[in-house]
Structure 1
Amino acid sequence: MIVERNVPLQPHNSFGIVAKARALVRVRGAADVQQLLADPEWGPIPKFVLGGGSNIVLTGDVRPLVLKVEVPGRRVLDDGPRATILEAGAGENWHDFVDWTLDQGFGGLENLALIPGTVGASPVQNIGAYGVELQDRFESLDAIDLATGKPFTLDAAQCAFGYRDSVFKHVAAQEGDFGLAGRALILRVRFRLPKPWKPVLGYVDLERKLQESGIREPSARQVRDWVCAIRSAKLPDPRVIGNAGSFFKNPTVTPEQCQDIIAREPGIVHYPMPDGSVKLAAGWLIDACGWKGKSVGNAGVYEKQALVLVNRGGATGGEVVTLARAIQTSVYERFGIRLEPEPVVV
Structure 2
Amino acid sequence: MVVEKNAPLQPCNTFGIAARAQTLVRVRSVDDLLAVLADPELAPAPKFVLGGGSNIILTGDVKPVVLKMEIKGLRLVEETPKAWIVEAGAGEVWHDAVAWTLAHGYPGLENLALIPGTVGASPVQNIGAYGVELQDRFESLDAIDLATGQSFSLDAAQCGFGYRDSVFKHAPSEAQDGSGLPRGMGLAGRAVITHVRFRLPKPWKPVLGYLDLERRRAEAGVEHPSAEQIFDWICDIRRAKLPDPAVVGNAGSFFKNPTVSPDQCADIIAREPKIVHYPMPDGSIKLAAGWLIDACGWKGKSIGKAGVYEKQALVLVNRGRGAESVTGGEVMTLAKAIQTSVYERFGIRLEPEPVVV
Measured against the shorter chain, the TM-score band is over 0.9
Partner residue, 1:31: 31
- Indicate yes or no: 2:169 matched with 1:169: yes
Which letter maps to 1:85?
I
Q: Aligned residue for 1:322?
A: 333
**Does structure 1 conserve the Cα–Cα contact (< 8 Å) formed by 2:46 and 2:65?**
yes
Q: Return the match for 2:348 from 328, 333, 337.
A: 337
Contact 1:113-1:228 within 8 A present in 2 as well: yes
| Partners of 2:279 and 2:41 in 1: CA distance | 53
Assess if the C-alpha contact under 8 Å between 2:36 and 2:43 holds in 1: yes
Pairing 1:105-144 to 2, within 5 Å after superposition: 105-144=105-144
Residues 1:226 and 2:233 aligned together: yes
**Contact 1:113 1:227 survives alignment (8 Å):** yes
Q: What residue in structure 1 maps to residue 281 of structure 2? A: 274
SS at match of 1:310: strand
Secondary structure at the residue paired with 2:198? strand
The structural deviation recorded for 1:30 is 2.0
Indicate if the aligned counterparts of 2:2 and 2:27 stay in contact, CA closer than 8 A.
Answer: no
Structure 1 position 242 matched with structure 2 position 249: yes
The equivalent of 2:47 in structure 1 is: 47
Q: Which amino acid aligns with 1:143?
A: A
Seq. identity, %? 76
CA contact (8 A) 1:251 1:279 kept: yes
TM-superposed deviation, 1:174: 3.0
Q: Which moved more, 1:170-179 or 1:120-129?
A: 170-179
2:219 to 212, 237, 241: 212
SS at match of 1:99: helix
Q: CA deviation at 1:80?
A: 1.7
3-state SS of 2:120 partner:
coil
User: Contact 1:4/1:25 (CA < 8 Å) preserved in 2?
Assistant: yes
Asked if the contact 1:141/1:154 (under 8 Å) is kept, the reply is: yes
- Would the aligned equivalents of 2:51 and 2:69 in 1 still touch at CA under 8 Å? yes
Runs of at least 5 residues in structure 1 that lack an aligned partner in the other structure: none
Q: Which residue of 1 aligns with 2:88?
A: 88
1:172 CA drift (Å): 2.0
Asked if 1:310 is matched to 2:312, the reply is: no
More displaced 10-residue stretch of structure 1: 70-79 or 33-42: 33-42
CA contact (8 A) 1:249 1:340 kept: yes
Over residues 146-198 of structure 1, what are the superposed CA-to-partner deviations in whole Å (9 max), with x where a residue is unaligned?
01011000000000000000000001243344300010110000000000101
Structure 1 residue 106: Cα displacement? 1.2
Alignment correspondent of 1:293:
300
Aligned residue type for 1:260 = D
Give 1:5 shift: 0.3
Moved more, 104-113 or 21-30: 21-30
Report the counterpart of residue 180 of structure 2 in structure 1: none
Q: What is the TM-score normalised by the length of structure 1? A: 0.99
Instruction: Structure 2 unaligned segments of length 5 or more: list them.
Output: 177-182
Q: Which residue of 1 aligns with 2:179?
A: none
Contact 2:172 2:190 in 1 (8 A): no
Distance in 2 separating the partners of 1:46 and 1:162: 27
SS of equivalent to 1:114: coil
Aligned residue for 1:150? 150
Q: Which residue of 2 aligns with 1:21?
A: 21
C-alpha distance in 2 between matches for 1:146 and 1:170: 15
Letter in 1 for 2:105: G
**Displacement of 1:2 after TM fit?**
3.1
1:49-68, aligned counterparts within 5 Å?
49-68=49-68
Partner of 2:86: helix, strand, or coil?
strand
Does the 8 A contact of 2:21 with 2:61 survive in 1? yes
Runs of 4+ off more than 6 Å: none
Local SS of the residue matching 1:120: helix
Contact 1:206 1:227 in 2 (8 A): yes
Contact 1:30-1:151 within 8 A present in 2 as well? no
Q: Which amino acid aligns with 2:194?
A: L
What is the DSSP-based 3-state SS (H/G/I as helix, E as strand, rest coil) of the residue aligned with 1:121?
helix
* Separation of aligned partners in 2, 1:344 and 1:121: 12
- Deviation string 1:275-324 (CA, Å, 9 cap, x unpaired) is 10000000000001110000010000000000000001111000000000
Between the two proteins, the alignment pairs up a number of residues equal to 346
Structure 1 position 8, deviation (Å): 0.6
Secondary structure in 1 aligned to 2:143?
A: strand
